[in-house]
Amino acid sequence: MEALVLPIGYRAKTIKHGEKVMKKTIYFCPQHAAVTLTEDHRLHVSEQLPTNKGCSVDSLFKSLASVQKEEAFAIFFQKGHCVGSGLLRLVEQGGTALSCSEVESGFDSMYHHTFKNPSTLAAYMANIINVPHADETDPALLRIIERLEMYKGIAFSTYEKKRLLSVIQKNACALQTNQCHY
């Protein structure tokens, strides 16, 4: 656990019923528990499993998507079990999701990796956390996205738009930095 949280400066806690969610904290779900996040950002833990045991984590992802929206960050480690629509909904609303499940790799716009070493996962998470956020109201950036959608003939999901905006902004910053050196 320390190898995961120390490199990125986050705290690690096991989820407790009624606890208010704190920023910069990684929460570990108790095994065989159904967990949801309430509107007042409190964790609700129930020993009563849903009828579909393999999908108990789905209710957590759905509640996380509805409460945290684009601030949500979820990691699904278990392999071969139902992730459900909650993780996809979280991603579509602009949150970030890491899935280690090759079985549930039907979500094309999600990260899918297997991490054998916690420090590798920590480095990967730090990279995602430290990505500069794009100004989603910038009309020039929005126009670029619209043009890309027209060119490709598809509509990007919220996650894909945010990812593209971030890449465009990062490259624009790099160009400005290079111009300053000349």
Domain limits, the chain: 2-129, 139-181
Q: Does domain 2-129 have CATH number 3.40.1710.10?
A: no
pLDDT along the chain (182 residues), means of 10: 70 84 78 78 74 57 67 59 63 66 47 58 66 67 84 80 75 60 38
Based on DSSP, count helices (H) and strands (E) in the chain, helices before strands: 6, 7
pTM: 0.50
How far is residue 96's CA from residue 166's CA, in Å, rounded to a whole number? Answer: 13
pLDDT on residue 177: 57
Query: Please, are residues 23 and 11 in contact by the beta-carbon 8 Å criterion?
Result: no
Given the DSSP bridges, would you call strands 11-14 and 111-112 parallel, antiparallel or unpaired?
unpaired
How far is residue 109's CA from residue 128's CA, in Å, rounded to a whole number? Answer: 15
